[in-house]
């Protein structure tokens, strides 16, 4: 017989990892908006920063629904990723294409984490719906970023 409480703890851990990803993306997009001179890209990055802020709150709600405790703050890996964006912008003179490419890389990694979460069989249906919807919206962001990158070449 499966230990339901252990599955719930593991599911909360997976959601906390997604929560950290959203903290990272929110801060990364905010940083990208600061590093970009292009007003359309600046608005795009601000919008996605806000979206990821909302995603974080939705995931926190799901964690609490499972009687878990949401993580606070971003991951070390995310902090390093934003530092890399800082260094890259200094080296490339705030090259729009380089910043967009780095955002694509971050979002692609986030998609992989979401796909790992969706492979779990122990997520409650409402939580699975939230994770799937967020995954699909992140995929939309990657698609849009790829389109933007193609126009910058």
Q: What is the pTM of this model?
A: 0.85
Q: How far apart are CA 16 and CA 22, in angstroms?
A: 10
The pair of three-digit structure tokens given for residue 102, joined into one six-digit string? 């780095």
Residue 11 exposure: Cα atoms within 13 Å on the Cβ side: 27
**What value does the mean pLDDT take over residues 27-56?**
90
The pair of three-digit structure tokens given for residue 121, joined into one six-digit string? 């069989």
Whole-number pLDDT of residue 28 = 85
| Whether pLDDT at 56 is above 60 | yes
| Whether pLDDT at 87 is above 50 | no
pLDDT in tens, 8-34: 888 999 999 999 889 988 888 888 888
**What value does the mean pLDDT take over residues 75-97?**
61
Domains and CATH numbers, the chain: 4-152 (1.20.1260.10)
Q: How far apart are CA 61 and CA 57, in angstroms?
A: 6
Whole-number pLDDT of residue 145 = 94
**What value does the mean pLDDT take over residues 58-76?**
87
Alpha-helical (H) ranges within 3-93 are: 4-35, 39-65, 76-92
pLDDT in tens, 95-138: 888 888 888 988 999 999 999 999 988 899 999 999 999 999 99
| Residue (of 25, 24, 14, 6) closest to 70 by Cα position | 14
Average predicted confidence (pLDDT) for the chain: 85
Coil, helix or strand at residue 70: coil
Residue 140 exposure: Cα atoms within 13 Å on the Cβ side: 10
| Whether 125 contacts 60, CB under 8 Å | no
**Which is more confident, 100 or 48?**
48
């Amino acid at each position: 017989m499966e230990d339901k409480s252990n599955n719930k703890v593991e599911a909360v851990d997976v959601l906390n990892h997604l929560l950290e990803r959203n903290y990272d993306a929110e801060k990364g997009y905010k940083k990208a908006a600061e590093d970009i001179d292009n007003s359309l890209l600046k608005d795009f990055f601000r919008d996605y920063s806000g979206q990821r802020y909302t995603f974080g709150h939705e995931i926190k709600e799901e964690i609490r629904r499972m009687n878990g405790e949401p993580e606070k703050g971003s991951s070390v890996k995310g902090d390093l990723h934003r530092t890399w964006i800082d260094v890259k912008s200094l080296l490339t003179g705030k090259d729009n294409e380089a910043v967009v490419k780095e955002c694509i890389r971050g979002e692609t990694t986030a998609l992989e984490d979401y796909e790992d979460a969706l492979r779990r069989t122990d997520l409650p249906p409402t939580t699975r719906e939230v994770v799937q919807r967020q995954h699909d919206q992140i995929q939309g962001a990657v698609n849009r970023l790829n389109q933007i990158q193609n126009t910058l070449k």
